[in-house]
Amino acid sequence: MTPDRDLVEAVARDGDEVAFRELYRRHTPRLYPLVLRMVGGAEMDAEDVVQEAWVRAASGMKRFRGESSFSTWLCAIGLNAARDHLRRRGRWGNTEDVTEVEIPVPPAAHGQRLDLERVIALLPAGCRAVLVLHDIEGYTHEEIARQLGIAVGTSKSQLFAARRAARALLTGTKEMSHARPR
């Protein structure tokens, strides 16, 4: 299997379409669900963000030094693209301000157990991003803080709020509904 580094060089140097497609097929399956969860489960939005991520990646491949894996580099671009997308839609908000928001439990969720993916999609964008990165993707708070441009403490607060809201939604109670989607 051709190393990612060689494929990146082929795309950056020659605009090699075959090399690009190979990169796309290797790394999009990892990028897409991350972006999909970040944007709250909207598939069309997620595809737009994936496209934007690949366009940014293609434009920056000449600067890719291989210090991290291509997958990590691409996901970082995807996260930035997702955050920009949410900001443009007015859904990113003030990520520092998590204690003043509430999560209204949707009518269909009263007394019912929700699917975890649906619960994650219902969380406010900031909380959701931290939960996805920490509990699903395995990022540390330091990595999340660096990636999202927030303080480490904020990342921890967001995770705390997200987990409690998720538990409330999953059990069908309004136990911890102090965060609200924007």
Partner 1 sequence: MHDRDDELTAAERERFESLPREMMPSRLLEERIVSELHARGYLGERQHVFRPAGRRSWNPFPLAAAAAAGIALFASGLAVGQWMGARHTAETMLAMQRQDSANAAAAIQRTGSAYLSVLGTLAQASASADPKEVARARVAAQNVMHEVADEMVRLAPDDPVSAHILQGLDKANRVQAASAPAPDNKKSLVWN
Q: Which is nearer to partner 1, 5 or 62 (CB)?
A: 62
Q: Does 59 bind partner 1 (CB under 8 A)?
A: yes
Q: What's the rounded Cα separation, in Å, for the pair 115 and 151?
A: 30
| Stated length of the chain | 182
User: What whole-number distance in Å separates Cα of residue 10 and Cα of residue 21?
Assistant: 11
- Which of 3, 5, 6, 17: binder of partner 1 (CB under 8 A)? 17
SS3 content of the chain, % helix, strand, coil (to 5): 70, 0, 30
Q: How many residues bind partner 1 (CB under 8 A)?
A: 38
Local structure of residue 135 (DSSP, 8 states) = I
Q: Any contact of residue 144 with partner 1 (CB under 8 A)? A: no
Contact flag: residue 177 with partner 1 (CB under 8 A): no
Q: Does 136 bind partner 1 (CB under 8 A)?
A: yes
- Distance of CA 33 to CAs 41, 45, 79, 132, Å? 9, 12, 11, 10
Which tokens is 80 given? 């930035």
Angle between helices 17-38 and 43-60 (to 10 degrees): 140
Tell me the C-alpha distance between 43 and 25, whole Å: 18
Site string for partner 1, 18-47 (x = CB under 8 A): x-xx--xx--xxx-xx--x------x--xx
Q: Does 118 bind partner 1 (CB under 8 A)?
A: no
**The only residue of 3, 99, 116, 140 in contact with partner 1, by rule CB under 8 A:** 116
Q: Which residues bind partner 1 (CB under 8 A)?
A: 11, 14-18, 20-21, 24-25, 28-30, 32-33, 36, 43, 46-47, 50-51, 54-55, 58-59, 116-117, 135-137, 153, 156-157, 159-160, 163-164, 167
